[in-house]
Amino acid sequence: MRQSESSDLTLRPLAGALGAEIQGIDLSAPRGSTAFAPIREAFLRYGVIFFRDQSLSRPAQLALAAHFGKPELHPIANGMEDYPEIIRVLKPEGEEAFFGTSWHTDNSFFEAPSSTTILYGETVPPCGGDTVFASMELAYQTLSEPIKALIDPLRAVHTAADAYDPRTTGEAKYRGETAISYTFSDAIYERVEHPVVRTHPETGRKALYVNAMFTDHIVGLNRHESDALLAMLYAHATRQELTCRFRWEPGSIAIWDNRCVQHYAINDYAEFERVMYRVTIQGTPPV
């Protein structure tokens, strides 16, 4: 562990690639931007930061989220009635998990994708249900120079159709029959273009920006060329040495930077209930 030079926070890096656990702070307590600065610095440095033994009310989670920007409303997954910016991610006992259970960057199908996600764990299984994170900055850095030269000018189409189209993913969630309910929206079929390699608006670092859940194809390539290149990039970006893994406990919080991090929610706890609360923050169009 190491002590932050600018505060009493204790940082414990979780892996060599990304991720740090922060101790010595109560995130339910109000604090100004100056007092919050060390947390934001750690967020930008490590890509994903974790806290344990927290107790967040819904208003407290929104107050925490506001330090990272403006909480947004999801156009498809329904938020809570009293707090529409918060999605209650319920996985009932005896059911398979289905929310976020493949590699992705949150809401990359938005024209201005979510910059940040704040996820609070209220009820978690005694084992299983870990979340794995991968550094897209390291994914880009560890590509060969010829591949970098190939993908730097490319753009890719992102869409939510594969993840949310009721014709292929089922209509029950749109009828309110599932633990997380959805609203049918034109946003399911919208298609947006983003650069394959984006530059972080705050750090200036480059990161790979394609993901298996929402990226459909690379513009200008034949389908078989696009599929082959994307498959290679997906496999490269999720190698174990580019990842960290977080084991949830009640009262845990994870805050990650969607501009440079992907994540994967592991579905290995069907016999247990899990209740999480998710807030995402408005971002800007990738460049």
Provide the CATH number for the domain around residue 214. 3.60.130.10
Query: Helix (H, G, I), strand (E, B), or coil: what is residue 63?
Result: helix
Q: Which residues contact 1 (CB under 8 A, 6 or more apart)?
A: 10, 11, 12, 23
Task: Count the domains in the chain.
Answer: 1
pLDDT of residue 8 exceeding 90, the answer is no
Does the residue 219 lie in any domain?
yes
Q: Is the pLDDT of residue 252 over 70?
A: yes
Judge whether residue 2 has pLDDT over 80: no
What is the model's pTM? 0.95
The answer to the question of residue 286 being in a domain is no
- 136 domain-assigned: yes
By the 10 Å C-beta count (0-12 exposed, 13-18 middle, 19+ buried), 255 is classed as buried
Beta bridge pairs of residue 193: 157
Residue 200 has pLDDT above 70, yes or no: yes
The percentage of residues in the chain with a pLDDT greater than 70, rounded to a whole number, is: 98
Q: Calculate the average pLDDT of the chain.
A: 95
Domain extent at residue 90? 2-281
Catalytic residue among 67, 104, 198, 259: 104
CA angle 278, 156, 100 (to 5 degrees): 25
Instruction: Please name which of 4, 41, 108 lies closest in space to residue 255, comparing C-alpha atoms.
Output: 41
278: annotated active-site residue: yes
Cite the DSSP H helix spans in 4-135.
33-46, 58-65
Residue 224 annotated as catalytic: no
Task: Please report whether residue 287 resides in a domain.
Answer: no
Question: Per the residue annotation, which of 67, 74, 88, 263 is the catalytic one?
Answer: 263
Torsion, Cα of 178, 183, 188, 193 (10° steps): -110
User: Is residue 167 among the annotated active site residues?
Assistant: no
CA distances from residue 89 to 55, 124, 194, 245 in whole angstroms, order as listed:
17, 11, 28, 19
**Looking at residue 182, what DSSP letter applies?**
B
The answer to the question of residue 167 being in a domain is yes
List 67, 106, 217, 259, catalytic entry: 106
How many residues appear in the chain?
287
Coil, strand, or helix at residue 249? Answer: coil
The predicted pLDDT at position 9 comes to: 84
Quickly state the pLDDT bin for 6 (edges 50, 70, 90). Answer: very low
Among 189, 191, 193, 200, CA closest to 167: 189
Residue with tokens 């991720």: 19
- Tell me which of 6-10, 54-58, 164-168, 257-261 is least confident: 6-10
Stretch 172-195: mean pLDDT:
94
